[in-house]
A = this chain, B = another copy of it.
């Protein structure tokens, strides 16, 4: 489909939910696991009895954050999201901090989601075990290939796995609750095991215990990742955009919370034992289970308990969980270029990322994202628990700055707003955002305190690196912009050259040469000459004879080249013209072959390209490319079009 015919197709809520929410919803596949295994460091009893309390606090935070973001989508419907909110209200450096955090988080979204997807799929497909990193890198490679080719996040195709996932998890929860009420809910396969505390976690004092609770809570906050996606995608919604986005956000939050609490409840009832270091922490009859023990994810263990003999149900849950996690990873492939485009608009990233349709620039972005994620997967061996340590800090940096920015936003508007009804709505929004900012800030402090040494430090370092890199790019653009500014009254830049001296480069007499001569003559220059470089005396002589024989109405000049160089004699000649007539404009016409395949490019035009890169260093010289379309170039132009990652979430349908 041509992009100019696609403008009308915006997303209804039922399609926007799967497109934007797969990241947030999918975190139910790993967030409960992280809560359980963190608490489990201090033994199985603590995990079984306390995990639901941690989950409740996570749910409370999520409720606050989602309520806050519903204010954002109304106030900033342009899709700039947290970056825009922070930039506008707290200044460009705050915006850039948010952007750095989000960029790092996109990489982590891919790494965590794919790793968790592989881990979940391994519950049903046991041959994956022991090759998790390889499987994860393979999936990243496939996603990269798809996005490089330009697969559109077309609503329906993406909707099916998301709705299947919701159906599967909520269905499993329904069956589980029913069996619990009926009293025949079996225990999990790991229920008979004992979970012994990790060394150093026995007999914890109350402060240490509180710290462990905070650590479990901050791991559980992984459930909040992806919540901000909708606020970046408001332009893609059908009208009324903001209202629909806010409704979808609420819907997503409700489903997320339901799934998370269901999973934690079912894990508790089926007495899942889930350990960080399962080989040593899990005991069977007092003896560690050892390296041979395979620990399924909480989702996998719960599904096996709930569905008992109904093996198809277990496989279904495993497959759709794997699928939605891959989909969640794919959202990063779509979100990354969108954010990149906005940052490019503001001069923080190379400018060409801003305009749509630069496939090469988009491709580079996708490759950087995939390379970063694959690097993390390999370094951390696709271990979700270790990757999670890096993950959440970026999200809460961006939540906190965005909500703080929203408070400022309302302050600013309240200063000028007179209408009491509007004012009271604004005041209410300000309270919500202030609570959101405080809550997010508190969580950020908790996350940093509990996770810095476990990995969050790396994430902070990566953000700092990006921050300064983007700042340097912006400074470079500002510097160039200053250099190019036209000072009022300075007429030098507008001064016309007195004469035009045209040179047509000739190697042989063939169609491209004749066309170049014709075009050069059409521009009626003051001086026109054809120039050839005498690399081979015999060839030059033959050329001159043919030139005379054909009676070409332009004089041909041969430049000496004792060392078989082409570039230097031409550059020297052009410079000599400029020296003799400093106010002349020299126009060099170079024939160029337009080819259809990259390998043809290797075989042609290289001398022309080299010459152009050298000539442009001389002021007063202009290089004109006279293209000649070879037969192989037919159809090439059409092949250069196609959809680009991020189209859907920008509303560029």
Binding site for B on A (CB under 8 A): 3-4, 7, 350-352, 354-358, 360-361, 473, 476-477, 480-481, 483-486, 493-497, 500, 509-512, 514-515, 517-519, 521-525, 535, 562-568, 585, 587, 592-594, 600, 602-604, 606-607, 610, 612, 614-617, 619, 621-631, 633, 636-637, 640, 652
Chain B residue with the shortest CB-CB distance to A497: B522
Inter-subunit contact A625/B636 (CB<8 Å): no
Measured CB to CB, the nearest residue on chain B to A612 is: B625
A494 lies within 8 A of B517 (CB): yes
Choose from B495, B510, B600, B606 the contact partner of A476 (Cβ within 8 Å).
Answer: B600
**B356 and A565 contact, CB distance less than 8 A:** yes
Q: Which residue of B lies closest to A589 (CB)?
A: B622
Find out whether the CB atom of B602 lies under 8 angstroms from the CB atom of A350: yes
Contacts of A564 on B, CB cut-off 8 Å? 354-356, 652
Interface pair A622/B622, CB less than 8 Å apart: no
CA distance A612 to B350 in the complex (A): 19
Contact partners of A621 in chain B: CB under 8 A? 627
B351 and A606 contact, CB distance less than 8 A:
yes
Please tell me if the beta carbons of B603 and A617 are within 8 angstroms of each other in the complex. Answer: no
Contact B623 A627 (CB under 8 A): yes
Closest chain B residue, CB of each to CB of A536: B345
Query: In the complex, A514 Cα to B494 Cα: how many Å?
Result: 5
| B616, A636: Cβ atoms closer than 8 Å | no
Q: How far is the CB of A623 from chain B (nearest CB, A)?
A: 5
Find chain B residues with CB under 8 A from A521 CB.
496
For the complex, give the distance between the alpha carbons of A471 and B617 in Å. Answer: 38
Extra pairs beyond A357-B566, A617-B633, A621-B627 (19, CB < 8 Å):
A3-B565, A350-B606, A352-B606, A354-B564, A355-B535, A494-B514, A496-B518, A522-B585, A523-B523, A523-B524, A523-B585, A592-B616, A615-B627, A622-B624, A622-B625, A623-B625, A623-B627, A624-B624, A625-B625
Give the chain B neighbours of A483 by CB distance below 8 A: 630-631
Which residues of B are found within 8 Å of A567, using beta-carbon distances?
Answer: 355, 357
Chain B residues lying within 8 Å of A619, measured Cβ to Cβ, are 627, 629
Return 16 A-B CB contacts under 8 Å, by A number: A3-B563, A4-B563, A350-B606, A352-B607, A356-B564, A356-B565, A473-B603, A480-B604, A485-B511, A486-B511, A494-B514, A497-B522, A522-B585, A523-B523, A617-B627, A622-B624
| Residue among B500, B563, B594, B614 making CB contact with A616, cutoff 8 Å | B594
Shortest beta-carbon distance from A396 to chain B in Å:
32
Q: Which B residues touch A493, using CB under 8 A?
A: 511, 514-515, 518
B523 touches A500 (CB 8 A): yes
CA distance A191 to B511 in the complex (A): 75
Closest partner residue, chain B, to A607 (CB atom):
B352
Whether the Cβ atoms of A351 and B607 lie closer than 8 Å is yes
Residues of chain B contacted by A476 (CB below 8 angstroms): 600, 603
With A515-B493, A623-B627, A625-B616 in contact, is A358–B610 under 8 Å at CB?
Answer: yes
Instruction: Name A502's closest neighbour in chain B (CB-CB).
Output: B523
Complex contact B627–A624 (CB within 8 A):
no
CB-defined contacts of A3 to chain B, threshold 8 Å: 563, 565
CB distance from A599 to the nearest CB of B (A): 9
Closest residue of B by beta carbon distance from A499? B522
A124 → B minimal CB distance (Å): 40
List, in ascending order, chain B residues with CB within 8 A of A517's CB. Answer: 494
In the complex, which residues of chain B have a beta carbon less than 8 angstroms from the beta carbon of A473?
603
Q: Check A637–B622 contact: CB distance below 8 A.
A: no
Give the CA-CA distance A351 to B535 in the complex, in Å: 13
Q: Which residues of B contact A496 (CB under 8 A)?
A: 518, 521-522
Q: CA A585 – CA B518 in complex, angstroms?
A: 10
Q: Are B631's CB and A617's CB within 8 A?
A: no
Contacts of A509 in B (CB 8 A): 486
Q: How far is the CA of A607 from the CA of B354 in the complex (A)?
A: 10
User: In the assembled complex, how far is the CB of residue A516 from the closest CB belonging to chain B, in whole angstroms?
Assistant: 9
Q: Which of B481, B604, B617 contacts A636 (CB 8 A)?
A: B617
Q: Which residues of B contact A628 (CB under 8 A)?
A: 484
B contact residues around A626 at 8 Å (CB)? 622
Residue on B nearest A597 in the bound complex, by CB: B476
A627 neighbours in B (Cβ, 8 Å): 615-617, 619, 621-623
With a CB–CB cut-off of 8 A, which chain B residues contact A354?
Answer: 564
Partner of A566, one of B355, B603, B623, B631: B355
Please name the 4 residue pairs, one residue from A and one from B, whose CB atoms are nearest each other, closest first: A352-B606, A616-B627, A484-B510, A493-B514
Does the CB pair A523–B587 fall under 8 Å? Answer: yes
Alpha-carbon separation in the docked complex, A3 to B563 (Å): 8
Task: Kindly list chain B residues whose C-beta atoms are within 8 Å of the C-beta of A497.
Answer: 518-519, 522
Contact between chains at A617 and B630 (CB < 8 Å)? no
B630 contacts A614, CB within 8 Å? Answer: no
Q: Which residues of B contact A607 (CB under 8 A)?
A: 351-352, 355, 358
Chain B residue nearest to A566 in the complex (CB): B355
The distance in angstroms between the C-alpha atoms of A445 and B35, with both chains bound, is 75
Q: Are B600's CB and A617's CB within 8 A?
A: no
A518 to B500: give the CA distance in the assembly, Å. Answer: 12
- The reply to whether A495 and B510 contact each other, CB–CB distance below 8 Å, is no
B512, A484: Cβ atoms closer than 8 Å: yes
Chain B residue numbers with a CB within 8 Å of A636 are 617
Which of A7, A473, A627 has its CB near the most chain B CB atoms (within 10 A)? A627
Chain B residue, CB-CB nearest to A3 = B563
Residues of chain B within 8 A (CB-CB) of A495 are 518
Q: How far is the CA of A630 from the CA of B617 in the complex (A)?
A: 10
How far does the alpha carbon of A652 sit from the alpha carbon of B565 in the complex, in Å? 11
Of all chain B residues, which has the CB nearest A619?
Answer: B629
- With a cutoff of 8 Å between Cβ atoms, the chain B residues found around residue A623 in the complex are 624-625, 627
